[in-house]
Amino acid sequence: MSGMWTVKVVGLGVVALSLSVELLGWLLHRLRPKRTRTEVLFFPSEMACLEHIFAPSSPQSCCCPLPHGVETSFTRLVRCILSASSSLDVCVFAFSNMDLCKAVLTLQCRGVTIRVLCDKDYAAILGSQIGVLRRAGICARCDVGSVYMHHKFAVVDNRLLITGSLNWTMTAVQSNKENVIVTEDPDLVGPFLKEFQRLWLHSDPAQYFHLSDPKPADKPTTPSTDKP
């Protein structure tokens, strides 16, 4: 009889030890600091088809001559932008890349809140996509400063920063030696969010229209017709 109790006690001890090890592993996993996402992309990027990124559930396969199913720096950049679920803030010197414009328009169709800030001189150049965005109902402002607005960054959902030397142009993506850093580090995301908000408020056209409104002319004095 004592032998059976011994076996039971040993068995319960083994079970308890196993549960303790699992619990300890779970606690260590929960307490371990999470690694923030960091990715570095270099350009120029290899050309590849993007249709499977814009329409992953489409049953039709694209028949364009570009390589399909290839991961490139540009496809990863587009995926980062399309990962937005609530907001996208874009602050770029030049914006003429039609694929990146398509990504922004795709997010708008999903209900994502989008704000775009660009340099005033480059907003009106041939090929600029700023007019396309505005006609689609996206709020796009131009920096009103006297110097170039030379930033190139975007913030996805207030948590993911995309920044580097890359302008949002076809030349930058396909021809130039450029770099992009993607990070979720809050110590880096926070200052960029603050800078975007500062520039966004500074570029609000309403305050400049208000300042430039002509003052109402003084009413002319009408000679009195009353007799003394």
Would you please indicate which residues are annotated as catalytic (active-site) residues? 150, 152, 157
What are the angstrom distances between the C-alpha of 31 and each of 21, 27, 38, 171? 15, 6, 21, 45
Cβ neighbours of residue 6 closer than 8 Å, sequence gap 6 or more: none
Cβ neighbours of residue 195 closer than 8 Å, sequence gap 6 or more: 91, 151
Residues in the chain: 228
Alpha helices in 55-169 (DSSP H): 73-82, 98-109, 130-135
Residue type for position 44: P
Q: Does residue 104 contact residue 138 with C-beta atoms inside 8 Å?
A: yes
